[in-house]
């Protein structure tokens, strides 16, 4: 009886797994790309707000059918470089300009160090504008061991307004991207919480 039940569970899992990948709100195992009914798209915004300088950021979906979002911006703006659509993005057609996405910095890889920034995009009251509700987690070693950190959170609201046609991020002062030096978000330090 046990073997028949296990076999039936495996068949059920194989039948349901493809349905999960068709939805934006399904969890996927590490290493798998989450699928969405997205199209290749890009939107350029003027960014201002706390925890970083004002500037221009280009936010894009580089591959159709995936939930991944990329950000091209000067690192001083303080935005994570990667993100994904949220589960409710299906309701807005996976359209970047309608919010329902999240940006999240890559962990440093140091055990106990949760430093980084996470931002959730929602439509603001003005047509075309987005609000980013960001939280900066700044951690410093506490001196009690290699993996003991003292962390504090700072709210960092940001406002995105559509940039003029042809506007591009000023990358001369530093490209926000995966440099490998700080886990994927160059320029994110505890001092970033005081800027703005």
Residue 2 within a domain:
no
User: What whole-number distance in Å separates Cα of residue 86 and Cα of residue 98?
Assistant: 12
Q: Tell me the mean pLDDT in the region 23-49.
A: 71
Q: What value, to the nearest 5°, has the Cα angle with vertex 65 and ends 73 and 80?
A: 25
The DSSP bridge partners found for residue 176 are 73
- Look at the chain and report how many structural domains it folds into: 1
| 163 Cβ contact partners less than 8 Å away, ≥ 6 residues apart | 44, 45, 46, 56
Helices (H) and strands (E) in the chain, counts: 1, 9
pLDDT > 90? residue 43: yes
Place of tokens 């059918």: 65
Query: Which residues sit opposite 130 in a β-bridge?
Result: 123, 160
Domain that holds residue 42: 36-193
Asked if the structure places residue 46 within a domain, the reply is yes
- 72 strand-pairing partners: 58
Query: Between residues 171 and 65, which one has the greater pLDDT?
Result: 65
pLDDT digits (tens, 9 = 90+) for 139-163: 888 876 667 888 899 999 999 999 9
The domain that contains 131 carries what CATH number? Answer: 2.40.160
Q: What is the pLDDT of residues 72-111, one digit of tens each?
A: 999 899 999 999 999 889 999 999 999 999 999 987 788 8
Residue 133 placed within a domain:
yes
Residue 8 lies in a domain: no
Average of per-residue pLDDT across 172-186 = 40
Confidence at residue 172, expressed as pLDDT on a 0 to 100 scale: 63
**pTM assigned to the model:** 0.69
């Amino acid at each position: 009886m046990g073997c028949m039940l296990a076999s039936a569970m495996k068949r059920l899992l194989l039948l349901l797994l493809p349905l999960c990948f068709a939805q934006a709100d399904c969890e996927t195992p590490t290493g798998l790309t989450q699928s969405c009914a997205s199209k290749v798209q890009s939107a350029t915004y003027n960014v201002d707000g706390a925890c970083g300088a004002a500037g221009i950021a280009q936010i894009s979906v580089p591959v159709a059918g995936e939930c991944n979002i990329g950000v091209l911006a000067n690192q001083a703006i303080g935005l994570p470089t990667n993100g994904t659509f949220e589960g409710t993005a299906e309701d807005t057609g996976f359209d970047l300009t309608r919010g329902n996405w999240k940006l999240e910095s890559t962990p440093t890889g140091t055990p106990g160090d949760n430093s980084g920034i996470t931002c959730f995009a929602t439509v603001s009251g003005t047509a075309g504008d987005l609000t980013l509700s960001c939280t900066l987690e700044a951690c410093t070693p506490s001196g009690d061991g290699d993996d003991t950190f003292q962390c504090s959170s700072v709210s960092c609201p940001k406002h995105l307004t559509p940039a003029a046609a042809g506007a591009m991020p000023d990358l001369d002062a530093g490209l926000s991207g995966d440099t490998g030096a700080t886990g994927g978000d160059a320029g994110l330090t505890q001092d970033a919480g005081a800027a703005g």
